[in-house]
């Protein structure tokens, strides 16, 4: 092993585990070694906290800077960065919050924010063309499946977490009051991106389940059947209008006929 | 959209492109000669950042300043990262691509900070081999930037300027000279900044960075969160007289001010660029 490699590993050992013997032995003997390493540790940690703060702005606003830093320090200790690209760095935070048994709202909010973070830079998709729409309308619904944009993500929650997310947006009314704890209420949300802006749209629970099934490859006819089984008199045209308004359809496919 | 030809960067001042200023730049393009950005911020497959960068690229020459390659690391080169850089560079054709003379990862763990190398023959051989590898894959020369350091390695016998000069000689790369870093290191370690600058190969200096620092007691920290300090402006005037006019970036990454402040700082650099005569090369 090279001397340079030894030195880099000794530096890492000091930053991560606080074991300074090897790295300080390699530093100038002017009495500043421990102070230097403390500074590097602080700079590195602050940088990661800042990355998490940018990735999870609503969580940061909800818990405040002090508590957010405590959560972030715990995360940083357990989840080292594995890339020179910091975009994916905070992906394990929702699971981490669940693991440390933080209040469940924090983990759910983090899950929603991570989806927003991913959707912000997800691959672009073209809108469904008029011809594709016509083809969908005139095709046998038992054969039609719909492809969704990569900028659409379905998420379900045990509480209406989007209310907290919306109330803590920078442009939200300061008069908006959310009572906590949130009521237990199965909640379906679709996170989308339109014209570069990430949107969080709550759906009623049945619509959510139907559209999610559609996104997973169920045919239009099977969704219609499920809808009517779940709710007699279900307005399927309204559901299709909701889907159109969400602007998440990337294309249609036809299953092979029997 | 793909831009076919790199627009050359003139020996004038540019500013760092940050998402915080996207809207304002699109609505009212500021009077600066060029812009620089971190390529890692555009690694996503789509979305607003890439679209906005495409629009900005039609109006300004671009420079890409990487922060994630960990050039001096003894870990294997992150080829996936390198290929993302290449795809981005091929798409946007920046006039300059640059990275730091530093390391930031070991044992697959990234600290995502610019950590100092010991300036030894081993480090020199290693860094030159890595730069060769990067330039071969990118199919373009790169600039390497001097960093701030907050420690001194005991075994570091080669002066930093000589280390950079030899790196340039062996690899054909250029130098991105960060004068704020030169000043911060000079103050923190009692060095003569002019001695450092004198020892650099002038022809290789292709870009200059100016930025602000913060004071923590007697220590200066390179935060990129303040205006350029008078002492650094003084060093800049000296450098421009010595090296000649060079494309100069106002670098500001934290505590971001209104765009107009960056533009004012760039205008101040332009005055110096326009008023100085080349003393020597």
Domain chopping of chain B, boundaries: 13-275
Region A118-131: mean pLDDT is 90
Whether B74 and chain A come into contact, CB under 8 Å, resolves to: yes
Whether the per-residue pLDDT at B281 is higher than 70: the answer is no
CATH 3.90.930 domain locations along chain A: 130-254
pLDDT of residue B7: 80
CATH of domain A130-254: 3.90.930
Predicted ipTM? 0.94
pLDDT of residue B268: 98
Mean pLDDT of chain A: 94
Whether the per-residue pLDDT at A256 is higher than 80: the answer is no
Out of A11, A51, A196, name the one closest to residue B115 (CB).
A11
**Separation of alpha carbons B49 and B53, rounded Å:** 6
Whether the per-residue pLDDT at B98 is higher than 60: the answer is yes
pLDDT of residue A135: 85
Tell me if B38 sits within 8 A of B22, measured CB to CB: no
CATH class, range B13-275: alpha beta
Contact B111 A150 (CB under 8 A): no
Tokens of B179: 């004068």
Q: Which residues contact A233 (CB under 8 A, 6 or more apart)?
A: none
pLDDT of residue A257: 54
Whether the per-residue pLDDT at A125 is higher than 90: the answer is no
Q: What is the pTM of this model?
A: 0.94
With 0-12 / 13-18 / 19 or more C-beta atoms within 10 angstroms meaning exposed / middle / buried, residue A58 is: buried
| Percent of chain A whose predicted confidence (pLDDT) is above 70 | 98
pLDDT of residue A1: 56
Region B124-137: mean pLDDT is 98
Tell me if B32 sits within 8 A of B13, measured CB to CB: yes
Whether B76 and chain A come into contact, CB under 8 Å, resolves to: no
Tell me if A42 sits within 8 A of A56, measured CB to CB: no
Whether B26 and chain A come into contact, CB under 8 Å, resolves to: no
Distance to chain A for B214, nearest Cα, Å:
13
- Please tell me which residue of chain B has the smallest CA distance to A33: B151
Helix, strand, or coil (residue A159): coil
> What is the pLDDT confidence band of residue B5, given thresholds at 50, 70 and 90?
low
């Amino acid at each position: 092993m090279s001397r340079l490699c030894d030195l880099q590993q000794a530096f890492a050992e000091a930053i991560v585990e606080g074991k300074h013997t090897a790295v300080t032995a390699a530093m100038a003997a002017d009495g500043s070694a421990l102070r230097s390493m403390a500074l590097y540790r602080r700079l590195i940690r602050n940088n990661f906290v800042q990355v998490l703060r940018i990735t999870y702005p609503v969580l940061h606003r909800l818990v405040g800077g002090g508590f957010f830093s405590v959560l972030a320090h715990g995360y940083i200790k357990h989840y080292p960065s594995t890339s020179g690209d910091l975009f994916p760095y905070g992906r394990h935070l929702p699971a981490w919050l669940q693991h440390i048994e933080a209040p469940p709202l924090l983990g759910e909010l983090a899950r929603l924010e991570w989806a927003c973070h991913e959707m912000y830079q997800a691959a672009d998709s073209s809108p469904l063309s008029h011809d594709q729409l016509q083809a969908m309308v005139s095709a046998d619904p038992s054969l039609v499946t719909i492809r969704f944009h990569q900028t659409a993500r379905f998420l379900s929650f045990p509480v209406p977490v989007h209310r907290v997310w919306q109330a803590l947006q920078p442009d939200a009314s300061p008069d908006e009051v959310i009572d906590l704890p949130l009521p237990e209420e199965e909640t379906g949300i679709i996170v989308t991106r339109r014209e570069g802006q990430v949107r969080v749209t709550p759906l009623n629970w049945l619509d959510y389940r139907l559209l999610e099934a559609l996104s997973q490859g169920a045919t239009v006819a099977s969704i219609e059947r499920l809808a009517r089984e779940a709710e007699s008199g279900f307005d399927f045209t309204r559901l299709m209008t909701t889907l159109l308004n969400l602007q998440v359809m990337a294309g249609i496919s036809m299953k092979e006929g029997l | 959209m793909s831009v076919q030809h790199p627009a050359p960067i003139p020996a004038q001042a540019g500013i760092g492109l940050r998402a915080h200023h996207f809207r304002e730049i699109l609505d009212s393009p500021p009077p600066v000669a060029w812009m620089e950005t971190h390529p890692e911020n555009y690694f996503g497959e789509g979305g607003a950042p890439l679209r906005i960068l495409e629009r900005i690229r039609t109006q300004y020459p671009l420079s890409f300043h990487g922060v994630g390659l960990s050039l001096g690391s003894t870990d294997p080169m992150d080829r996936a990262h390198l290929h993302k850089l290449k795809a981005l560079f091929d798409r946007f054709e920046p006039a300059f691509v640059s990275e730091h003379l530093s390391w930031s990862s070991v044992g697959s763990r990234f600290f995502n900070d610019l950590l100092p190398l010991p300036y030894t023959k081993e480090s020199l051989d290693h860094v030159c081999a890595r730069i060769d590898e990067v330039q071969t894959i990118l199919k373009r020369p790169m600039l390497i930037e001097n960093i701030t350091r907050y420690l001194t390695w005991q075994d570091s016998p080669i002066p930093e300027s000589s280390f950079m000069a030899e790196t340039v000689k062996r690899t054909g790369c250029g130098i991105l000279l960060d004068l704020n870093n030169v000043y911060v290191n000079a103050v923190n370690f009692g060095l003569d900044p002019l001695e450092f600058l004198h020892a650099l190969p002038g022809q290789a200096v292709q870009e200059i960075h100016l930025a602000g620092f913060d004071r923590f007691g007697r220590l200066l920290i390179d935060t990129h969160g303040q205006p350029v300090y008078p002492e650094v402006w003084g060093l800049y005037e000296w450098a421009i007289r010595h090296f000649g006019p060079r494309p100069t970036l106002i670098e500001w990454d934290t505590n971001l001010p209104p765009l107009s402040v960056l533009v004012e700082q760039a205008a101040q650099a332009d005055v110096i660029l326009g008023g100085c005569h080349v003393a020597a090369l």
